[in-house]
Every structure is written in C-alpha cells, then in structure tokens.
Copies of this chain bind each other. A is one copy, B any other.
C-alpha cells in the first residue's frame, strides 16, 4: 500500500528502502551487509542478465566460470590492486576442519585468478583476442551498506579480455562502455554520461577507467558500470606473454568491465515515485496486470470475461492476473502500483457491457477506455510510450539539474543547496579534486569524451589554466 512508503520529500533514503522492502525486491539477511534477493527482485536481474548476455555474445564474448577462492598471494602480485582491495577482503582460513597453509580470499573481483589461467592458455597471437565474461557473486567487506546499491556480497558480470595490442585493448574498453550505455539508455531508460575517471577514482590496477554515470532523483550521481583498460599491468604481474607473427614475445594487453545488481538500485531510484516502483516496460518482468472488478452477483461473468482477456494478452505480453476476492479493487490497484507493473487493465461490469477495457499507465496514472478489439495494439503503443517517456523525463530532470559553474563560491552554494551535476573547468590536479571533496563532498564523476578541447578558462578551485571540463557531483 502506498502509505507504507515514506514520501521522497520527507526522507529520500527511507523512500528507497521502503520500496525495496515493500515491493519484495530484497530483504536483509542475518549476515551483516549481505542481502537476500527475493523473486521479484531476482526477476529484474534475470531480465538484465538476459539482455546484456545477448549483447556480450553479439560482440564475440563467451561465458566461463573461475573459482570463488583466490590465494591471498595472487592479489599481492599487482601492487595497486592489492592496495585497493586489501581492506575489503573476506578471508577463508579453515577448510575441511584444518587450518589452511595459505589463506584464501573470496574474490572481490577476478583479475588475478583469471590472469593466472590466461598464462596457461595464451602462447601465440593465434590465442588472441581472448574474450571471456563471467556471471558471478563477489564479496567486498563494506562498512556501510544499502540494499542493491552497496552490499557486501553482490551479483555481477565481469568481462576479462586479452589482446595483442594497446589499440585493440582500448577499442574493447570503449566498445563495452558503449554496450553499457546502450543498455542503460534503451532498456533501463536511464540516461547516462560516459567518460573517463580521474586518477583518484580509477580501478585499482587499471591504466584508465571509464564509466557510465546516471543522476538519481535526489540529484546524486550513481556509477552504473565501469570499463577498464588494464594495459599490461596484469600480464606483467602474472607473466603472460605471447609470440607475435614475427616470433617476438610481448606482454598481453587487458581489459575488464562490469555491471552489478546495483543496476536494480539505479532503476528504482531513477523512475519510482511515492506510490512505489515504476519500471521501464522493456525490463519489467510483468508488463500488464489484469484486475477484474466484480460483486458477488456478477462474479462469474466478469471472471469469465477477464480470464479470456488474460489469455489473449498472454499471446503477446507478460501478464499477471489478480482475480482474488479477499481484497478490494482499490487495495489491489495500490498493490500493483507498488509493484511497478507498467500497465493495469481494469475490467468491470460496464466495460463488459460496452465490450471495452480500462487501461491505466503506471507512470502517469492516465486512464483510457479501449475497445476490446484494439486492446493489444493500444497496450503495445502504451509500452513504447512509457519506455520513451521515462527516459525523456529522466533526461529532462538531469538537464535541469546540470549547471555550468566556473566560480567556486557558486560551486559551493550549488552543492549546499539542491546540488546536481556541475560541469566545471579543472586544472587536473589531485589537490584541487581533494579540496572540492572536502568542501562539498562532490567528486569527479566523469571527464566526458572530448572534454580537454572544451576546457577553457581557469580551474574552478585554484584558478590555474583548466585542462579538463569535469562533471562533479555527490554520489552513491
């Protein structure tokens, strides 16, 4: 019911958690920081997996599976990598009742174990490129967690590719970033900014990290996917070389890229409202819910009419049917709004009489009366319209909360007040970046492609000549 959900303007965090819990997407588990993904949440993950997996295969990738446990010593082989992940590790010290000779860590990410295998599999240029993806659980010991957005264990995919040249690795890095952008925009209806991360925000062990960043309804940024050019860092750490066509040995170039169950958090935060979940039709596990409205006297004929309708709709859409007589139509409407089904079909005695149905859009609440013989066509159109409108609404929201700021006082005021994305000139120094973070909690989310050419004037902090035009925001 809608009144179980804290309104956004009362407490945005509570609103988010209320939706996750009340729409039965996830639940807290007895293990601190780990979540249970309930069937309605997991169905979203299955949709995400299914679409992305198709996109990965269409770009030549194959799935594989690497071990959960990694010898602790492997992480230490890449200096930046271990520094980045050491504080977040869960460590297995006993196995089969005995203390282990070498502790094993639960993967926080799989570069090290995968590159130890690539050493066995890669000898010649003929073995390249090697384009592998894995769907898996990973674990990062987090101090502060929030369902879907940051949990100790989460589900994700991690692509790990090996290439003969730096150019190919860079192409792959950007290709997969583009896959993520396309998926976020076309399926999740989530407009994203793309670009490079600053040095201080990049992946531990990468040469360069690229990301897709979305704006949530509280105007904070959410990093929704990353693609890393790892250069030869892991090839050197694990001594992975290949013989080129001329017989010369070189280190292999690497990329890795991933998105996680965090995308479900992004979906919820981007589109939902005070009534509950709002889902883009292309990713909604159920597109249509049919609710018959009847009294005892006409129950039989209405259920007859509505269940025939359900059969017809199932030919084309994913449909749920709620003929239950233990709750009122009003209660059911609220319940299915909470669950985020994009289109509600109501069927009452008058509708039956007129050979029509009532269609209600979840996103706008707009009602329309539709003759029975047009219902499929109209739902088809509605689903397209909702998908498009959700994207446009999110885009308009981001646009209206993005400001070009060159003055530091204005910059600070912006983040003290409503906040959003600030597009500001930056000198490129980690000092100024740290300064901004301390003053405002905002960080550089991305350095958009081509930002160097657009960087004019003075750094918003120190006044030195700007090298970059950076997007600053508070973030999840």
Chain B proximity mask over A116-132: 1 for CB below 8 Å, otherwise 0: 11001100000000001
Chain B proximity mask over A31-44: 1 for CB below 8 Å, otherwise 0: 10011111101110
Contact of A94 among B64, B66, B90 (CB under 8 A): B90
Asked if B137 and A30 make an inter-chain contact with CB atoms under 8 angstroms apart, the answer reads no
The reply on A87 being an interface residue by CB < 8 A is: yes
The reply on A354 being an interface residue by CB < 8 A is: no
Within 8 A of B (CB), among A44-76: 45-46, 62-71, 74
Contact of A31 among B35, B37, B63, B69 (CB under 8 A): B69
Contact of A67 among B34, B62, B66, B121 (CB under 8 A): B34
Asked if A36 and B63 make an inter-chain contact with CB atoms under 8 angstroms apart, the answer reads no
The reply on A1 being an interface residue by CB < 8 A is: no
Asked if A94 and B97 make an inter-chain contact with CB atoms under 8 angstroms apart, the answer reads no
Asked if A62 and B42 make an inter-chain contact with CB atoms under 8 angstroms apart, the answer reads yes
Asked if B92 and A96 make an inter-chain contact with CB atoms under 8 angstroms apart, the answer reads no
Asked if A155 and B67 make an inter-chain contact with CB atoms under 8 angstroms apart, the answer reads no
Known contacts A29-B117, A74-B30; is-contact A64 B36 (Cβ 8 Å): yes
Known contacts A31-B70, A63-B42, A64-B42; is-contact A94 B96 (Cβ 8 Å): no
Taking CB atoms, residues of chain B closer than 8 Å to A41 are: 64
Bound Cα distance A117, B36 (Å): 8
Taking CB atoms, residues of chain B closer than 8 Å to A45 are: 65
Known contacts A34-B69, A64-B42, A71-B30; is-contact A93 B91 (Cβ 8 Å): yes
Asked if B91 and A27 make an inter-chain contact with CB atoms under 8 angstroms apart, the answer reads no
Asked if B27 and A67 make an inter-chain contact with CB atoms under 8 angstroms apart, the answer reads no
Taking CB atoms, residues of chain B closer than 8 Å to A95 are: 89-91, 141
Chain B proximity mask over A300-317: 1 for CB below 8 Å, otherwise 0: 000000000000000000
The reply on A383 being an interface residue by CB < 8 A is: no
Taking CB atoms, residues of chain B closer than 8 Å to A113 are: 29-31
Bound Cα distance A67, B154 (Å): 9
Known contacts A31-B71, A31-B104, A120-B27; is-contact A65 B92 (Cβ 8 Å): no
Asked if B31 and A96 make an inter-chain contact with CB atoms under 8 angstroms apart, the answer reads no
The reply on A166 being an interface residue by CB < 8 A is: no
The reply on A201 being an interface residue by CB < 8 A is: no
The reply on A350 being an interface residue by CB < 8 A is: no
The reply on A106 being an interface residue by CB < 8 A is: yes
Interface size class of A (residues with CB under 8 A): 35 or more
The reply on A245 being an interface residue by CB < 8 A is: no
- This chain: copies in complex: 2
Contact of A96 among B46, B87, B153 (CB under 8 A): B87
Minimum CB–CB distance from A261 to chain B (whole Å) comes to 8
Bound Cα distance A92, B103 (Å): 10
Asked if A65 and B36 make an inter-chain contact with CB atoms under 8 angstroms apart, the answer reads yes
Within 8 A of B (CB), among A127-154: 132, 136-137, 139, 141-143, 153
Asked if A93 and B96 make an inter-chain contact with CB atoms under 8 angstroms apart, the answer reads no
Among residues of B, the one whose C-beta sits closest to the C-beta of A126 is B326
The reply on A410 being an interface residue by CB < 8 A is: no
Within 8 A of B (CB), among A342-362: none
Asked if B68 and A137 make an inter-chain contact with CB atoms under 8 angstroms apart, the answer reads yes
The reply on A244 being an interface residue by CB < 8 A is: no
The reply on A199 being an interface residue by CB < 8 A is: no
Minimum CB–CB distance from A351 to chain B (whole Å) comes to 29
Among residues of B, the one whose C-beta sits closest to the C-beta of A132 is B39
Taking CB atoms, residues of chain B closer than 8 Å to A207 are: none
Taking CB atoms, residues of chain B closer than 8 Å to A88 are: 96
The reply on A432 being an interface residue by CB < 8 A is: no
Bound Cα distance A182, B88 (Å): 44
Taking CB atoms, residues of chain B closer than 8 Å to A70 are: 31
- Using a CB–CB cutoff of 8 Å, the interface residues on chain A facing chain B are 27, 29-31, 34-39, 41-43, 45-46, 62-71, 74, 86-97, 103-104, 106, 113, 116-117, 120-121, 132, 136-137, 139, 141-143, 153, 155
- 17 residue pairs from A and B, CB less than 8 Å apart: A27-B117, A30-B71, A30-B74, A31-B69, A31-B71, A34-B68, A34-B69, A36-B65, A36-B67, A36-B117, A42-B64, A42-B65, A46-B63, A89-B95, A91-B93, A92-B92, A96-B141
Top 8 closest A-B pairs, CB basis? A96-B141, A39-B62, A34-B67, A91-B94, A37-B65, A95-B141, A93-B93, A90-B95
